Amino acid sequence: MGRPQTPVPDAREEAFMAGHERKLRCFAVHDEAFMGSVFASNQSNLAVSELDPKTHALVRLGALLALGASPPSLQSDVEAALAAGAIIDEIVGTLVAVTPRIGSARAVSQAAELALAVGYDVDAALEETTHGSEHMRCDGIVSSRPGDAGMPHLAFHEAGRGRMDGRLRNYPE
């Protein structure tokens, strides 16, 4: 038994069907012409998606991050995002946005890969920080002791004596 046939809309129904409905129907039935336009080229995919070029590049980058792509794979979408007007903070923000969906282990591994794609060597920066006198600080919220493999430490509310205040802080000296 095959898949149930999806009724093909007549011309009048097709004319009133919203673009998103048409696209979803084409995906659902694996319409060859539609799928061909999705896979034909980056320009064709951009046109079919109806996203602006910057959003398109950032969404594609998010998908690559979720898949665990290597720096060379990430590089083309980073370059496309930059060419479309994205700034590096928005590119890194894409990793932040997908992290709740991909999990912290994937996000941590992809951070170094994305850093290389934007021209930043995290390992070298961490090496400098580890051998220097300062502890690494991440926006004043997260930091760690050198040699802790970047593991943040929960700070406890002083007044609450052992109650967590929900923030991460510098580990005491």
For 5-50, write each residue's pLDDT tens digit.
555 555 555 555 678 899 999 999 999 999 999 999 989 999 999 9
Residues 114 and 62 in one domain: yes
Which one is predicted more confidently, 141 or 114? 114
Whether residue 72 sits in one domain with residue 112: yes
The rounded distance, in Å, linking the Cα atoms of 68 and 66 is 6
Q: Which domain holds residue 113?
A: 58-120
Q: Are 89 and 44 in contact (CB under 8 A)?
A: no
Is it the case that residue 170 has pLDDT exceeding 70?
A: no
Evaluate whether residue 164 is within a structural domain: yes
Looking at the structure, tell me whether residues 102 and 146 fall in a common domain. Answer: no
Domain total in the chain: 3
Per-residue pLDDT at 30: 94
Instruction: Assess if residue 29 is contained within a domain.
Output: yes
Q: Is residue 5 part of a domain?
A: no
Task: Verify that 63 and 109 share a domain, yes or no.
Answer: yes
Q: Which is more confident, 95 or 160? A: 95
- Could you tell me if residue 3 is inside a domain? no
Residue 110 lies in a domain: yes
Q: For residues 115 and 142, state if they share a domain.
A: no
- What span, in angstroms and rounded, lies between the C-alpha atoms of 90 and 66? 16
Asked whether residue 115 is assigned to any structural domain, the reply reads yes
User: Is residue 82 one of the residues assigned to a domain?
Assistant: yes
Q: Residue range 76-89: average pLDDT? A: 96
Q: Does the pLDDT of residue 166 top 50, yes or no?
A: no
pLDDT for 148: 45
pLDDT at position 132 is 54
| Predicted model pTM | 0.67
What is the per-residue pLDDT for 11? Answer: 57
Q: What is the mean pLDDT of residues 39-68?
A: 94
Q: What is the pLDDT of residue 135?
A: 55
142-143/153-156 β-pairing = unpaired
